Amino acid sequence: MPEKITETDLIHALSGVFRTYGYEGASMALISQATGLKKSSLYHRFPDGKQQMARAVAHAISGGIEKQALAPLNGPGSPKARVKQAAQRLNTFYENGNKPCALDTLSIAGDQGEATLAELRESYDALIKGFTNIAIEAGTKPKAAQQRAIRAIVLIEGALVVTRITGDSDSFKRVIKELPDLLCDA
C-alpha cells in the first residue's frame, strides 16, 4: 500500500528539481523521479500542475529563509556572531555553493507565472530585510545598511553562478566567510 508522502518532503524534493533545472528544465518526468510520485499523484496534490508546484516551492523558500536561515539574526550574541551563524545556515542551504538558488534558476523567462515571480521577490525582500536590520543594529545608518544588504545578496547570487560555471566553490566559501564583516563592520 503506497504511503502518503509528507508535504515537507514533497516540497523539498520539488525544490531540488526546480533549483537545479530551472522551471522549463524541470519536466514532470524529472519531478516524478525526484519525488517518487507518479505524475497523476502530483496533479492530485497540485491540481494546477507545474506552475502550482513552482509557486509552492517559491513560497516555501520565502518562508524558509525567514524562519530557518535568518533565524539566528534575531537570536542572542553580537550582531557579527549572529551573521556568522546565519551564514553557516545559508552555506548548508546552498550545499557549499553547489546547489543553485531558486532566485536565479526560477526567475529565468518562461511559463512559471507571475505568482511564482512574486514569491521570489518576497524571498528577496525577506533577505534584504534580515540583512538590513542586522547591519543597522551593528551601527550602520539605514540607507547604507540596505546597500550592504543588497551587496550581500549580489555576492551570494554571483558566487553561486561562478561556482556553477567553474565547478570551484572557492568564491562562494569566500563570500560566506566575508558576510559578517560585510554587514557589520564600520
Binding residues vs a second copy (CB under 8 A): 20-25, 100-101, 103-105, 107-110, 120-121, 124, 150-151, 153-159, 161-162, 164-166, 171, 175
Taking the complex as a whole, the smallest distance from the CB of residue 170 to a second copy amounts, in Å, to 8
* Distance of alpha carbon 99 from alpha carbon 44, whole angstroms: 28
C-alpha cell at 150: 543588497
SS3 50: helix
Q: Which does 107 bind (CB under 5 to 8 A by kind): DNA, a second copy, none?
A: a second copy
The residue among 84 and 164 lying less far from a second copy, judged by its C-beta, is 164
Q: Which does 41 bind (CB under 5 to 8 A by kind): DNA, a second copy, none?
A: DNA
Q: Which does 89 bind (CB under 5 to 8 A by kind): a second copy, DNA, none?
A: none
* Distance of alpha carbon 73 from alpha carbon 66, whole angstroms: 10
C-alpha cell at 173: 566559501
Q: Which residues here bind DNA, judged by CB under 7 A? A: 2-5, 26-29, 36-41, 43-45, 47, 49-51
Taking the complex as a whole, the smallest distance from the CB of residue 154 to a second copy amounts, in Å, to 4
Instruction: Indicate the residue type of 186.
Output: A
* Distance of alpha carbon 51 from alpha carbon 55, whole angstroms: 6
* Distance of alpha carbon 153 from alpha carbon 104, whole angstroms: 11
